[in-house]
Amino acid sequence: MVDAVAFYVLAALILGFGALVITAKSTVHSVLFLVADFLCVAALYVTLQAQFLAVIQVMVYAGGIVVLYLFVVMLVNLKRPPEVHSDPRRLGRLGVVMSVAVLVELVAIFALGWSKPEVTGGGGLSPKNVEQLGRLLYQDYLIPFEVASVLLLVAMIGAIVLAKREL
Amino acid sequence: MITTTHYMVLSAGLFTLGLLGVMTRRNIIIILMSIELMLNAVNINFIAFSYQLQNPIGQVFAVFVIVVAAAEAAVGLGIILAFYRNKETINIDEMSLMRW
């Protein structure tokens, strides 16, 4: 019962803030709604026994990525709003129709065509979530973990090179 | 009773909102934020299945998705800044140099 109430409240908040993100007039408001959305998703992770992921979500998304977005919004000093100039060849309606088609398709697949897979050898989610994930990351998924660290290094260097005026 | 299907429908809704943002908005910063929303929808699916199958590997993959999202945000915003310096705009309708 409590689960159901928590899920529906969080789902409504996530979808509501998501809708506000893409409809807000001002870009800064959009970024702030994005923070709220990420925090609600983090709360959803807690209800799904993914506590470490919830903390990562708050620190990386709500703390790091969103600050990056805010800085860029401040750096691009908009003398005229970006939505003024509209390309006459733009097919905005078609985009809406396509998005709704994707939604219908996905929901139909999830509600009708998906059979529940067997539970096989997971070993269960323990309350020691951090320890469990740490063991997996440093034992079974060590090489993907190192590749991810190289990806982050490359992205960091790339962002500096792109954003610098002259090298 | 909340089943995995509930979470999958929520994730489909969030994904569609992100798609709608990419399709309809002209501000490229909001388009990048919509992509973040879509990546979050994917993460919700991973975590929901991790919970249903009682298998923590789904959470490991969600960590990798977050890594890629962070890299994408940093490089994408760097590109936006470089573009803004040259063209003084962040409207994607004016980014039509290589359009056919």
User: Which pLDDT does position B56 carry in this prediction?
Assistant: 87
CATH of A1-79, one of 1.10.3720.10, 3.40.190.10, 1.25.40.10, 1.20.120.1200: 1.20.120.1200
Report A:41-60 residues touching B (Cβ under 8 A). Answer: 41, 44-45, 48-50, 52-53, 56-57, 60
If DSSP states are collapsed to H, E and C, what string results for B1-38?
A: CCCHHHHHHHHHHHHHHHHHHHHHCCEHHHHHHHHHHH
Contact (CB, 8 A) for A35 and A28 = no
CB contact under 8 A, B66 and A60: yes
User: Which pLDDT does position A92 carry in this prediction?
Assistant: 75
Distance between B66 CA and the closest CA of chain A, angstroms: 8
pLDDT, tens only, B26-57: 888 999 999 999 999 999 999 998 988 888 88
Look up the ipTM and state it. Answer: 0.91
> Which residue has better confidence, A121 or A51?
A51
Residue A85 has pLDDT above 80, yes or no: no
Single out the residue of A144, A108, A75 nearest to residue B85, CA to CA.
A75
Tokens 């065509």 — which residue? Answer: A113
Per-chain mean pLDDT for chain A: 85
Cα A159–Cα A161–Cα A164 angle in degrees, nearest 5: 100
Report A:94-133 residues touching B (Cβ under 8 A). Answer: 95-96, 98-100, 102-103, 106-107, 110-111, 114, 116-117, 119-125, 129, 132-133
Domains of chain B as residue ranges with CATH: 4-94 (1.10.287.3510)
**Structure tokens that stand for A144 in this block:** 């993907």
The minimal CB distance from A72 to the residues B36, B80, B94 is found for B80
Q: Which residues contact A131 (CB under 8 A, 6 or more apart)?
A: none
Distance CA B62, CA B39 (A): 10
User: Which pLDDT does position B26 carry in this prediction?
Assistant: 85
> Which residue has better confidence, A88 or A141?
A141
Please tell me the pTM assigned to this model.
0.89
Q: Which of A72, A130, A152 to mutate to test the interface with B (most CBs of B within 10 A)?
A: A72
